[in-house]
Amino acid sequence: MFQMFILPYPLHMLFLSPPVKFSSYESLNGTIPLREALTEARAEQFQLVQAGPIVSVNSSIKLIESVPVEQMRTATPLRRNSTYRRRKKIKPEGNPKVLPPPSPPPPPRKTIPSHLQRYIWSLSPNEALAYAKKEIEHAPMVVDDHDLFTPLFQNVSVFKRNLSWVEMQAQQDKGLYYNCDKKFAGTSLQANGSRLQCEQIFQAVPIEIQRSYELMEMILKVFIYRDGARPIFHQPHLRGIYASEGWFMRLMEANRQFVTRDPEKAHLFYLPYSARQLETALYVPDSHDMKPLSIFLRDYVNMIAAKYPFWNRTHGSDHFLVACHDWGPYTVTEHKELCKNTIKALCNADQSEGIFVGGKDVSLPETTIRTPRKPLRNVGGNRVSQRPILAFFAGNMHGRVRPTLLKYWSDKDEDMKVYGPLPIRVSRKMSYVQHMKSSKYCICPMGHEVNSPRIVEAIYYECVPVIIADNFVLPFSEVLDWSAFSVVVAEKDIPKLKEILLAIPMRRYLKMQINVKMVQKHFLWNPRPIRYDLFHMILHSIWFSRLNQILIPSS
């Protein structure tokens, strides 16, 4: 006799597993979600939005268009179940791997009252500049709080309080003031490192600078000329010792906060040329003739002056350029107004040649970028106890200062590691970067020109810079007190270099070394700019220079 059993549901439901839902971090192909997550994270960090019909940047960093997640899944063939089981064990459902953000979000900007914003929008560019100049001149004398050392500038609303003990003491200290942890407020100024942490960094007019930065965020609009062909225009050079001009161009052309499409609303006009690309395209090797470069730029300025009315309105005084090549100053000499009136942001900020004008022109920090995809690579240094070398320098022998430096200090003293190009026998044991991270002081002598990328390199590696370059205008000197985190030595004092460094008390050195760390963030290129970083610091210096040109009639 046979018995038949009826199953309570269809066989295919008995033997097959129920459908599995996959989160956005899981897929049958485990490599696809990771790529998706990374692509999305990078897109959020490096998203470049062009402001207006500006010529696109052709940089060495390509932005790959991301594909929607669902579309990628549809186009991806399914793998066999064994692959799925392996992936499921690695990344179980319900506990997806969350990738950390590529970089911290920028600090929030102060919310501007709507009535104030409407008032500013109602002003013409010249009226807005006059308003900003008056606001700066009438800025209240107030003191910053303990966060002052983190960002270089703060919003004015933070400082609406009475003068503190810190500021009153600072007014008696050569016009400088201190930034202290407010938990020590009311205590003695007998600083001992552990009890009182006061850092002397900013100049005596910090509130004016802070007010200026806030007004820049509220008011400034920049018009970028679309004219000019690649590679000299609109094509940033992002690698090497001249990368500063390229990074500024890339970030400026991608910016939408400060860039305007309407030139009638602009307070500044940017000439987007690259001195490095100009030299590569036009200079004849070994000709020692830079005149063709200057003639080319002269013809460009004449063209935009004939095509647009903006240059002739101010004779170029509201226009600016950014050039980090050593020859940057010499590319403007064939055009009188360009040389005399335009705001020039130059790495070669040498006052002795008569091209760079202090107070009008801007000293541009020279930064060495070895990996454009990772501009902040290797930033940081050893603690003080792991810096056995007193002073270090290695570099090519050119200019008037470096041969003198080697004459007195190469192979003369164990504490002074001074070389020409770093010898192979030395670099095998310790690289150039490791030398800087292991030194208390990093010597930054001028080369052919006054500027040197070693100044910013020393800041990156938390080594106190020793700057040897007469007539050099230090970057952001309208804001920063360089004596707080560097040592400036006259060229004539090179024979006494070790004596000068040893005369600095350890307590003073420790303070300078901490200040180097504090200032570091203002010299960093962020692929996605954040407040008070190098991009914003350069732009503020240009804005501040433009405000200095404004004359307010006395009432």
Peptide bond into 309 cis (omega under 30): no
What was the pLDDT predicted at 168? 35
What was the pLDDT predicted at 203? 47
Q: Are residues 489 and 357 in the same domain?
A: no
Whether the full predicted model's pTM is greater than 0.75, yes or no, is: no
Is there a domain that residue 1 lies in? no
Interacting residues of 248 by C-beta distance below 8 A, sequence separation 6+: 322, 345, 364, 535, 538
Torsion angle defined by CA atoms of residues 508, 511, 516 and 517, in that order, rounded to the nearest 10 degrees: 160
Is there a domain that residue 6 lies in? no
Q: Name the phi and psi angles at 480, rounded to 5.
A: -95, 145
Domains in the chain, number: 4
Q: Are residues 472 and 424 in the same domain?
A: yes
Task: Give the residue among 201, 214, 213 at the shortest CA–CA distance from 166.
Answer: 201
User: In this structure, are residues 275 and 245 in contact, taking their beta carbons and an 8 Å threshold?
Assistant: yes
Q: Are residues 206 and 244 in the same domain?
A: no
Q: Are residues 139 and 262 in the same domain?
A: no
Is there a domain that residue 101 lies in? no
Q: Are residues 137 and 159 in the same domain?
A: yes
Q: Which residues pair with 199 in a beta bridge?
A: 179
How far, rounded to the nearest angstrom, does the alpha carbon of residue 324 sit from its chain's CA centroid?
Answer: 14
Q: Are residues 235 and 345 in the same domain?
A: yes
Is there a domain that residue 7 lies in? no
Count Cα atoms within 13 angstroms, Cβ side, for 66.
18
Is there a domain that residue 203 lies in? yes
Domain of 86, in residue numbers: 20-90
Q: Is the dihedral of CA 366, 368, 372, 378 positive or negative?
A: negative
Q: Which of 58, 90, 122 is the last residue of a domain?
A: 90
Is there a domain that residue 9 lies in? no
Q: Are residues 189 and 132 in the same domain?
A: yes
- The CATH number linked to 401 is 3.40.50.2000
Q: Name the phi and psi angles at 233, rounded to 5.
A: -115, 145
Can you state the angle between helices 206-219 and 125-137, rounded to 10 degrees?
160
Q: Are residues 207 and 277 in the same domain?
A: no
Q: Which of 216, 246, 276 is the last residue of a domain?
A: 216
Is there a domain that residue 4 lies in? no
- The per-residue DSSP string of 77-109 comes to PPPPHHHHHHHHHHS-TTSPPPPPPSSPPPPPP
Overall residue count recorded for the chain in this entry: 555
Q: Are residues 210 and 250 in the same domain?
A: no
Q: Are residues 461 and 507 in the same domain?
A: yes
Q: Are residues 62 and 27 in the same domain?
A: yes
User: In this structure, are residues 185 and 165 in contact, taking their beta carbons and an 8 Å threshold?
Assistant: yes
Element (H, E) at 402: helix 402-409
What was the pLDDT predicted at 95? 44
Is there a domain that residue 95 lies in? no
Q: Which of 216, 248, 264 is the last residue of a domain?
A: 216
Residue pLDDT tens, the chain, 555 long: 555 555 454 444 444 444 434 333 333 333 334 344 434 444 344 333 343 343 333 333 332 233 332 333 333 343 444 444 444 444 444 444 444 444 455 555 556 667 788 888 899 999 999 999 988 887 665 444 343 343 333 333 322 223 333 333 444 343 333 333 333 333 333 333 333 333 344 444 345 656 888 899 999 999 999 999 999 999 999 999 999 999 999 999 999 999 999 999 999 999 999 999 999 999 999 999 999 999 999 999 999 999 999 999 999 999 999 999 999 999 999 999 999 999 999 999 999 999 999 999 999 999 999 999 999 988 999 999 999 999 999 999 999 999 999 999 999 999 999 999 999 999 999 999 999 999 999 999 999 999 999 999 999 999 999 999 999 999 998 888 899 999 999 999 999 999 999 999 999 999 999 999 999 999 999 999 998 899 999 999 999 999 999 988 765
Q: Are residues 500 and 428 in the same domain?
A: yes
Q: Characterise 364 by phi-psi region: left (phi > 0), alpha (psi -120 to 50), beta (else).
A: beta
